[in-house]
Amino acid sequence: MHLNEKQSLITREIMKVKSVLIFDSGVGGLSVYKEIIQLIPGQHVIYAFDNAAFPYGELEYDVLISRVCGMVLAVCSTHDVALVVVACNTASTLVLPYLREKLSIPIVGVVPAIKPAAALSQMKKIGLLATPATVQRPYTYQLVKKFMRDCDINMIGSTELVLMSESKLCGKPVDKRKLQNILAPFINQVDYIVLGCTHFPLLKSEIQEIVGDSCTIIDSGKAVACRVAELLIEESPRAFLYKHRVFSSALVNKDSALNQELSHMGFSSIERAPPF
């Protein structure tokens, strides 16, 4: 094939490639990214995170709705996005209806996997580990009411754990004592722990070490990846040729540990998100 032909083939491919937009407040959505890429290798991804308003677990309702809708719409209006994954339980348990009103492409949310945990628990006692906002959401209460008829739930809402997950991804050591204190109400009390925040799978091995092997830890990542794969069946070609892109709402230093970590995962350097 001539260089020119090759070039025009690549150009045509670029024009056809549609991205999956994965959105979170910080690095938590990368746990969902890993599941999606494992299931759909070659799918082009745009990762967008709202670090200017992080952490989301302590924001007022109206602020959260306007941040998530603003940033997701800004990226969708400047890029060819096939589907949006709101890879944040704190946002999904509140914002999905507002976002669906504004966008006509599929939107997949991430919410705590309370249903499978309640069905599988032998002790009939499960733990929910999430942000302070998610454990208080009416949406979460509805899930509990619907699926926990014969089962007790113990909830921990922790921003500290979100911060620990961010630090770990940037190479900082995890403070096991602090983690143990946060998890104390679960130890020997539950046999299933639901990770109801996308940041927490990044700490799964440390959490498992503390709660012991008799406790099973589950999250929603795989189920979300399956849903994305189902919805993308009709979608366009895979994009092995192109690096994934990442956008942040606040500036991140080019040489930061985060940029290096993202580069190992197949992303180009963090770019500033379009204004919203």
Active site residues: 88, 197
Which residues in 178-237 contact ligand DGL (CB under 6 A)? 197-199
Q: Output phi, psi for 93, to 5 deg.
A: -70, 0
Q: Which is nearer to ligand DGL, 6 or 178 (CB)?
A: 178
Q: Which of 21, 48, 88, 99 binds ligand DGL (CB under 6 A)?
A: 88
Q: Does 135 bind ligand DGL (CB under 6 A)?
A: no
The structure tokens listed for 252 are: 């991140």
Contact 46, 22 (CB under 8 A): yes
28 binds ligand DGL (CB under 6 A): yes
Say if residue 199 carries a ligand binding annotation: yes
Scanning residues 52 to 71, which ones bind ligand DGL (CB under 6 A)?
54-57
Cβ closest to ligand DGL, residue 18 vs residue 248: 248
Q: How near is the Cβ of 99 to ligand DGL at its closest, in Å?
A: 15
How far is residue 157's CA from residue 170's CA, in Å, rounded to a whole number? 23
Say if residue 57 carries a ligand binding annotation: yes
Specify whether the backbone of 44 is left (phi greater than 0), alpha (psi in -120 to 50) or beta: beta
Contact 147, 118 (CB under 8 A): yes
Structure tokens at 20: 């999956």
Burial state string for 95-112 with b = 16 or more CB within 10 A and e = fewer than 16? bbeebeeebeebbbbbbb
d(CA 221, CA 203): 14
Nearest residue (CB) to ligand DGL, 37 versus 239: 37
Size of the site for ligand DGL (CB under 6 A): 18
Task: Name the token pair of 57.
Answer: 């677990």
**Span interacting with ligand DGL, options 36-44, 51-59, 223-231, 260-268, rule CB under 6 A:** 51-59
Nearer to ligand DGL, 57 or 127 (CB): 57
SS3 204: helix
- Binding region for ligand DGL (CB under 6 A): 24-26, 28, 54-57, 88-90, 131, 134, 159, 162, 197-199
Binding positions are 24-25, 56-57, 89-90, 198-199
Binding positions for substrate are 24-25, 56-57, 89-90, 198-199
